Structure 1
Amino acid sequence: MALPPDFTLLQVVPELETGGAEQTTLDVARAVIAAGGKALVATRGGRMTARLEADGARLAQMPVQTKNPLVMLGNAARLVDLIRSEHVSLVHARSRAPAFAALWAARTTRTPFVATYHGVYKAQSNLKRWYNAVMTRGDLVIANSDFTRDHVLAEHQLDPAKIVSIPRGVDLDRFDPAWVTPERVAALRAAWGIAEGDRRTRFLLAGRLTRIKGHLTIVEAAARMKAEGREDFLILFAGDDQGRTEYREELVKAIADAGLTGQIRLVGHCDDMPAAFLLADIAILPTTVPESFGRTAVEPQAMGRPVIASAHGGTLETVADGITGWLVPPGHAPAWANAMVRAMDLGAGKRGEMGQTGMARVRQLYRVDVMCEATLAAYERVLAARAETA
């Protein structure tokens, strides 16, 4: 079975600022349009909206990011109207709070409902477990890694036939070193205040400024490196605080207290991540809690850069230890310092060889077109199952 000719997809995602769920929303919308369907996205909006609309998808702006029960009820009513007026074929939710409104609207209109687990949600109580389980109450659950699939099965005792693992894909047209001009890299270097003659080894941590991303582990590791006489490195934290000003201030203070203002820079949000990874020598992903997939461990490999990542979660699948990068115990600053020094001392030639191996592996396992094909196949499966029971 193929997607019907009048297929219309409605994806529901809190916002379109930055992140893996948001990028996947755009990728799948583009794939549906390429297959001849229509793509709608209900969201609060954000900086990625222009890209969504440029691809031919349509935005339905509403406050689906809220956890306010009254507003969620209003969102459900708005989604019912949208589903009916646009003849939506399938609803795909990508976060828990929007999923409540989306599931209610889908059931009201008898529309197939799919949800993607983009993260590993911890439940400390039965109430929280019930809240998380909204993602499992539709026709099919998509997990963005085998790690996530195993977690969902253990947490919710779901029928294994009701969940499919579809690893997140990377846009290999966008993340292709051959397509990044030297001018783009030079512009980023200038914007980040890196002198052209600066030969220090550059590490890049790409991710929003939040504690779980592990910035403080890297500050401590850098302090150890400096105490041992190593100052031939520059660490770049690329990401904004998204309102977490207290954590940003804590981070700035920790860097200053450690005497690392010359070695660590907070460069803010970056719109040109392919150029950012080329500007870097090594990407780092020091998350203190498991990433369900870890997009910023895969994208740099697509750009030919080795990765140092925390040894848990999805990165156990995406980083081949000692082959495309290194896996390090999470939160263990001495181990991180050792790994970073080892990567520096390996030299550009050997790191380049690791980068080429990583690039080949990403192109084999994590292409965005493979992810989109698998997602559309999941939609087809759900539509076929609904047709059989109609």
Structure 2
Amino acid sequence: MNTQQKRIAFISEHASPLASLGGVDTGGQNVYVAQLAKHLASQGYQVDVFTRREKEDAPEIVNWVRGVRVINVTAGPAQIIIKEDILQYMDDFRDNMIAFIIDQQLHYTLVHANFFMSALVAMGIKKELDIPFAVTFHALGHVRRIHQAEADKFPAERLLIEELAVQQADRIIAECPQDKEDLINYYNAPEDKITIIPCGFSSSEFYPIDKECARKITGLPQNEHILLQLGRMVPRKGIDNVIRALGKMKHTGKPVKLVVVGGECEELEEETCPEFARLMDVVRQNGVEGSVIFTGRKDRSELKYYYAAADVFITTPWYEPFGITPLEAMACGTPVIGSNVGGIKYSVADGETGWLVPPHDPEALADKLDEVIGDGVELYRAGDNAIKRVNEHFTWAEVARQVHLLYRNMQPVIARPLVTLSSNEQAA
């Protein structure tokens, strides 16, 4: 792909790379968009990330890092809206994005849509401007419905939009083998359109740190076993499952503390955070009030110290399209106990870099914790294997390399390339 052909548009309607992480609607997709855009820029791409304006005073164009701009698109009121309620504004998003492209006389080689609503916009842009698109869904409505049933508040149109996007997309990125299977089984996705490219971690952000030092920085006790749960505080993440497992552990050696990092704010209060209140009820019901620490949301720059301070990172969601936090934990040398679901069973090598357990099964989790928590040699071995595995397979640089190859392979579907490639460039 010639340098002049490397201007691309990301769409991420609810997940801006500029957002603070840890809230209900901020997490893995924000990280994916931010890191992939930055790493593609380092390969010579010019990336514009189109996201929904959430503040009246937000500038239209933010020159974020070299090669990456964030474009705040007016679509509905300029305020934070839960993602389940955003679909109604996607026609405005499409129209205003097209107007921006025409007004700025921009020529994008392709669009990379993230999530189903962004895919809806990408379909409209393809129809109006004849720009091909790739899509990373990040989560699928059919799978969500299976696990959440009536708790799923997305509009029913989501499934139809996803089905249309699967047919109209020029390429589909599945984040793990389970994601590919779901796309084929629930959406009849053509297998030749799908490429498995995982999420990644940033090796400049997450790396091994001395455990004693990390515990001093985080203020966590030195002479206790530390279990860590970190991520969005929503029911499907299974934090209650970890709390219940803590109450069932039989280990009688050093005290065990569960540290829960995440939430809507730095100071969690039961009166203003319903999910925190629900989890505190679970804590009380299981008699572990003195063994659970809720830290609230932490800045991203602090997370590596929490990962490094832990003996084990635990993540037992009901389902998980991919899951970036296990990668980050493993990059810090901390083994992972995770649900045997979705992307976790892809990224965590069972028995090598951590262990897999069934979701919704606190007894199984407690048994696994009892088995490994006091075995320093086994924990060290798994942590060492984890560092090697993620640095070989899951860096954002490697993810961006694979995405670049996918973009390059999209060239035959691009009807009007911006320039004619020389024979040397075609060979490259």
1:80 matched to 2:80? The reply is no
Shift in Å, 1:71: 2.2
Aligned counterpart, 1:36: 44
Shift in Å, 1:334: 0.8
- For 2:375 and 2:211, the matched residues in 1 are separated by 27
- For 2:203 and 2:211, the matched residues in 1 are separated by 16
Cα deviation code 1:156-185 (max 9, x no counterpart): 11211111111112222222226x898776
Contact kept, 8 Å, 2:74 with 2:96, in 1: the verdict is: no
- For 1:142 and 1:330, the matched residues in 2 are separated by 26
- For 1:52 and 1:287, the matched residues in 2 are separated by 36
Aligned counterpart, 1:316: 345
Aligned counterpart, 2:127: 107
1:122 matched to 2:142? The reply is yes
Greater CA drift, 24-33 or 72-81 = 24-33
Cα deviation code 1:248-285 (max 9, x no counterpart): 21111221333322111111122222222111111001
Aligned counterpart, 2:331: 302
Q: Residue 371 of structure 2 is aligned with which of 342, 345, 369?
A: 342
- For 1:352 and 1:153, the matched residues in 2 are separated by 39
Work out the percentage of aligned pairs sharing the same amino acid.
Answer: 21
The AA in structure 1 aligned to 2:136 is T
Stretches of structure 2 that go unaligned for 5 or more consecutive residues are 22-26, 76-82, 147-155, 419-428
The AA in structure 2 aligned to 1:283 is F
Shift in Å, 1:238: 0.9
TM-score, length-scaled by structure 2: 0.80
Contact kept, 8 Å, 2:211 with 2:310, in 1: the verdict is: no
Aligned counterpart, 2:227: 203
Match of 2:10, SS state, is: strand
Aligned counterpart, 1:15: 15
- For 1:251 and 1:269, the matched residues in 2 are separated by 15
Greater CA drift, 121-130 or 263-272 = 121-130
Greater CA drift, 104-113 or 17-26 = 17-26
Q: 1:69 to 1:328 in 2, by over 3 A?
A: closer
Aligned counterpart, 1:141: 172
Aligned counterpart, 2:258: 235
Q: Residue 205 of structure 2 is aligned with which of 163, 174, 178?
A: 174
Shift in Å, 1:202: 0.5
Q: 1:388 to 1:381 in 2, by over 3 A?
A: farther
Aligned counterpart, 1:26: 34
Contact kept, 8 Å, 1:3 with 1:380, in 2: the verdict is: no
Match of 1:58, SS state, is: strand
- For 1:310 and 1:102, the matched residues in 2 are separated by 33
Q: 1:120 to 1:52 in 2, by over 3 A?
A: farther
Match of 2:290, SS state, is: coil
Match of 1:267, SS state, is: strand
**What RMSD in Å do the two structures reach over aligned CA positions?**
3.0
- For 1:37 and 1:313, the matched residues in 2 are separated by 31
Q: Residue 219 of structure 1 is aligned with which of 237, 243, 250?
A: 243
Shift in Å, 1:133: 2.1
Greater CA drift, 335-344 or 132-141 = 132-141
- For 1:162 and 1:121, the matched residues in 2 are separated by 19
Aligned counterpart, 1:284: 314
Aligned counterpart, 1:255: 283
Aligned counterpart, 2:385: 357
Shift in Å, 1:6: 4.5
Q: Residue 185 of structure 2 is aligned with which of 144, 154, 160?
A: 154
Q: 1:72 to 1:173 in 2, by over 3 A?
A: same
- For 2:35 and 2:287, the matched residues in 1 are separated by 42
Q: Residue 275 of structure 1 is aligned with which of 287, 305, 310?
A: 305
Q: 1:214 to 1:45 in 2, by over 3 A?
A: farther
Flag the structure with more relative contact order, 1 or 2, with Cα contacts below 8 A and sequence separation at least 6: 2
Contact kept, 8 Å, 1:99 with 1:134, in 2: the verdict is: no
